[in-house]
A and B are shown apart, each in its own frame.
Chain A
Amino acid sequence: MAHKNRETETLSKAVARIQAGVLAITCGLICGLGLFAMTAWLLVKGGSQVGQHLQLLGNYFIGYSVSWLGSVVGLIYGSLFGGLIGWGIGRVYNWVVTLRQGPEA
């Protein structure tokens, strides 16, 4: 009984660590593909002023525009930027968890 209670307690108290690399890839894929899809969607829809707001991202992602070439550039930028965000979240999270719980066994 005592063993089982300890086991249940261990499981319910286990704190997750985040694999920063995995989160970076996940966020990178979401952002990269997301920006590619949004750009492509606006291009397919067409119109007189295609993606006037989205193209403001060009302020940050040099070379990006709402064009087919831009969508590929956006895919690369989005992936890098998303990856960086994911990696950052993972690292900061793990750092705080380590501060609070001690190093991972």
Chain B
Amino acid sequence: MSNVLIAGAGPAGLTAAYELSKLGLNPTVLEADDQVGGLSRTVNYRGYRFDIGGHRFFSKVPLINQLWEEMLREDFLVRPRLSRIYYRQKYFDYPLKAANALAGLGPIEAMLIGLSYTKARMFPQADETNFEQWVVNRFGERLYEIFFKTYTEKVWGIPCNEISADWAAQRIKNLSLREAIKNALFGSGRAADGQVITTLIDQFNYPRFGPGQMWERCKDLLASRGHETVQGVKVERLRHRHGKVECMYGTSSNGETVELGADHFISTMPLRELILALDPPPPEKVLQAANYLRYRDYLTVVLMVKREEIFPDNWIYIHAPEVKMGRIQNYKNWSPVMVPDSSRTSLGLEYFLWEKDEEWEWSQDRLIKLGIEECTRIGLIEPSEVEDGTVVRMKKAYPVYDQHYTESVDIIRNYLETFANLQTVGRNGLHRYNNQDHSMLTAVYAARNIVGEKNDVWSVNTEMEYHEEVRQSSTKGDRLTPQRVAPPETAEKVIEAAFAKLDPLAMGVALGVVASLVLFWATTVLLLKGGPVVGPTLGLLDNFFLGYSVTWSGAFWGLAQAAFGGFALGFLFAWLRNWSLTAYAFLVQRSAEAKERGDLLDKV
């Protein structure tokens, strides 16, 4: 039985271990923290539970949904979603609703937004390499300034024009014409197994005791199968030789050095840390690429407030530039049991920072004071209502997609692929801003690669459910095995055939040839039959074909004119048919893309 060592007990690390245990292998997980779940853990502070950010559970990948259900069973709740944007002392529904936005912004601003949107659609910027250009092209300058710029820059800490457009493209599905048409014709709300998918916009799944419950349970399941999750050990070094990792070295919480060997290794460590931990070190070029990678850090100030209800939302986006916080979570609206006493509310004020920022170093008391001040400033609470507070810091919460990250990731990826027994998975492990479900999927792929499958973990991203979903096979006994869904070739072919254009020139020639031959034949038949008056009725065609008559010369003259007339008719028919088809396809695509962009902020 192969031994597999996994660095990191976040969703990817634990999922890999869980999958390996199902495959009959022997995984061991090493985790630096004293709690499992990574970014998806739930902190329990004096009975108040809170997330590191909000984690809605939603996936179009059936395998992941099945894993969630398998682990949580009846503790997997369906929760209603309500979120708004706070801007200019007003709350705006999010996803944006026209009437609500109009009422909040006023008719003049609404008109200016409309004009700026029209301008952006009619004269889009040709260069679309950064996030600002991407959003402005789709929403217009004013909507971008009001609803996207401030918040995005708070989250990422860099100007929108320095964020790669790739990031938006990965998070926001930019439907191809083919996909849009397919969705319009066959519906888009289904997973690969045909299961109907509900939209994240209205509701979502959530574990009763927060997302950490899932990972605690996963750890317990692993333990019940004899697989250890070693907590408090930070992996610091990976020794390798001849293209194979031999062992991982770490330091335990009591300062002891831990050395563990295995046949296979899976890392969920941030890509930069992994490269810097390799012993012997990789070539200079790879080290340099690793050092180029940047991560955004995250800090939550949690305030316990003596009030039963403060606001009805799950979370509020704070676009107001006068406060530093980017988002406020109301944990009891995610699950009622997140607070120990229903007469109390716990708010999570989210600050997105760099480790080098001054606020990152602030004391807990100072940060709590800042949180109370900011909540008071926007009118949410009175300072006297706050009875307790705490702070949670999370380093490297978000991999940054700046203009240079792809080059660095490619260099690192090429280097790591030279190792026969090392795989890297998860959000930071791939330096990809994946949601939890896709991070888990990379882990499942990695686990299955160890038993001989050939899955590309780097291919998993937010768009993949549309072409690479996996589903359970019902044909191989009890064990669940992945099976790639065959591309819906029939639908593809139908769409391609239905939307293929007619060649106007060819249609013109075809109609011209046939029409001229028919008229020539009709004329010559009458001429050959003869009679006192030949073809008086057919001769009436001279009303249309000037100079035509039922004579031998008329037959040739008619042939030429029918060829011309037929050509014009055929060309026009094909052109009009193509034009209306293109117009239809364009409308379908626009409508599908607009639908996809409806919850853009959720994906920032």
Contact = CB atoms under 8 A, between A and B. Distances in A.
A8 B178 contact: yes
B502 interface: yes
B509 A96 contact: yes
Contacts of B517: 88
Interface stretch (A34-42, A52-60, A65-73): A52-60
A8 B593 CA distance: 14
Interface in B479-530: 495-497, 499-503, 505-507, 509-511, 513-514, 517-518, 522, 525-526, 529
Interface residues of B, number: 33
B169 interface: yes
B499 A11 contact: yes
Contacts of B585: 12
Given A4-B176, A89-B514, A11 B506 contact: no
B530 to A, nearest CB: 11
B178 A100 contact: no
A35 to B, nearest CB: 15
A93 B585 CA distance: 24
B174 interface: yes
Contacts of A97: 503, 506
A25 interface: no
B511 A89 contact: yes
11 contacts: A11-B181, A14-B500, A15-B501, A16-B501, A59-B526, A89-B510, A89-B514, A92-B506, A93-B507, A96-B510, A100-B505
A1 to B, nearest CB: 5
A93 B503 CA distance: 8
A41 to B, nearest CB: 19
A12 B180 CA distance: 13
A97 B510 CA distance: 10
Interface string B164-176: 0010010000101
B582 to A, nearest CB: 7
B174 A4 contact: yes
**Residues of A contacting B: mostly:** helix
B210 to A, nearest CB: 35
B506 A100 contact: yes
A96 B503 contact: yes
A90 B507 CA distance: 9
Given A14-B501, A56-B537, A93-B510, 19 more contacts: A1-B166, A1-B169, A8-B176, A11-B178, A11-B499, A12-B585, A13-B501, A14-B499, A15-B503, A16-B503, A53-B537, A59-B525, A59-B526, A89-B514, A92-B510, A93-B503, A93-B507, A97-B503, A97-B506
Nearest to A60: B525
Interface of A: 1, 4-5, 7-8, 11-17, 53, 56, 59-60, 85, 88-90, 92-97, 100-101
Interface string B525-551: 110010000000100000000000000
Contacts of B518: 85
A93 to B, nearest CB: 4
A97 B506 CA distance: 6
B189 to A, nearest CB: 20
B393 to A, nearest CB: 35
A16 B517 CA distance: 24
Contacts of B179: 4
A11 B529 CA distance: 52
Nearest to A93: B510
Contact of A59 (B500, B503, B506, B529): B529
Nearest to B566: A89
Contacts of A56: 537
Given A1-B166, A59-B526, A15 B509 contact: no
Contacts of B495: 11
Given A59-B529, A100-B505, A7 B513 contact: no
A85 B502 CA distance: 18
A97 to B, nearest CB: 5
A11 B509 contact: no
A68 B412 CA distance: 84
A89 B174 CA distance: 39
B600 interface: no
A92 B510 CA distance: 5
- The 8 A-B pairs at the shortest CB distance, nearest first, are namely A96-B506, A16-B500, A92-B510, A93-B510, A14-B500, A8-B177, A4-B176, A89-B510
B496 A14 contact: yes
A90 B177 CA distance: 28
Contacts of B178: 7-8, 11
Given A4-B176, A59-B529, A11 B503 contact: no
B167 to A, nearest CB: 12
Contacts of B510: 88-90, 92-93, 96
B569 to A, nearest CB: 11
A53 B536 CA distance: 11
A53 B537 CA distance: 8
B103 to A, nearest CB: 37
Interface in B9-62: none
Interface string B438-449: 000000000000
A97 B418 CA distance: 49
Contacts of A11: 176-178, 181, 495-496, 499
B164 to A, nearest CB: 11
B285 to A, nearest CB: 25
